[in-house]
Amino acid sequence: MLKVGVIGIGNMGFGMAARLRSLGWPVAVRDIDAERELAAAALGARLCGTPAELAAGCDCVIVVVVDAAQTEQVLFGADGAAAALRPGASVMLCPTLAPQDTERFAAALAQRGIDCIDAPVSGGPARALDGSMSLMLACADAVYERHRELIDALSAKVFRIGARPGDGARTKLVNNLLAVINLAGAAEVMALAERMGLDLTRTLDVIEQSSGQSWIAVDRMRRALAGDYAPRARTTILDKDAQLALQMAAAARFSVPVGQAAADAFRRACEAGAGALDDAALFEVARRRTP
């Protein structure tokens, strides 16, 4: 087994680290949240004080932070992982990033003789924990084969996108823009159903088994009907992803008016104070619309 380190053990990163530990993999972790680190240590993970300390003992560093700024910091900042990795080691980039950032990080790592696996993830923490999350991979074939055991341990839903760094990021943003559209639409129609006096649980049951169904819509609206907005996926995360997707579309000179409208709904939800809540809170924002 490769010696693996996970930098960023929030909801997804913790699920991935816990998944590997459950299968007997040696895992080192680093996070700014001491409670998360202690929870990982209870599973047998090795705690590291800096990304560099973690990287010094690893063959593959999995980065599961929030955005490009955090990725830059943990890889190339003070005590960053890149300087401590040996040539021939690898970095797996799992955050949702702009394609040009992924390309930039891959190029900087290549200059140090370090392989980069463009590897966005999707599915939520429960699916990260049980190995059923989606994993979108863009890397050289030889790099993929060398990491196949690790990749298969992390996910039963592995999609080989290609060899070009950045194509994993592009695929993830296309997916997430559709997730934004589906969730914004679900929040709106459920608020409409409530305004018309329909039973919301029955309405959602119909949607789940009919043509309006989408996984993210049903998953989030179940939480909303239960009044459960504990943040598994904060509204700010999909707001950030929506903006990245719009920027990508603009760079491709392609108009996405439905995506723009859905992204605006997320932006309004953040401005209304729902940014730190689970993104199911879009329902609360929609139901408060003035007639």
Active site residues: 172
The burial of 194, by beta-carbon neighbours within 10 Å (0-12 exposed, 13-18 middle, 19 or more buried), is given as middle
Tokens of 163: 């060899």
Cα 83 to Cα 77, 79, 109, 202: the distances in Å are 9, 8, 9, 56
Whether the CB-CB separation of 181 and 173 falls below 8 Å is answered with no
Distance CA 264, CA 270 (A): 10
Whether the CB-CB separation of 263 and 242 falls below 8 Å is answered with yes
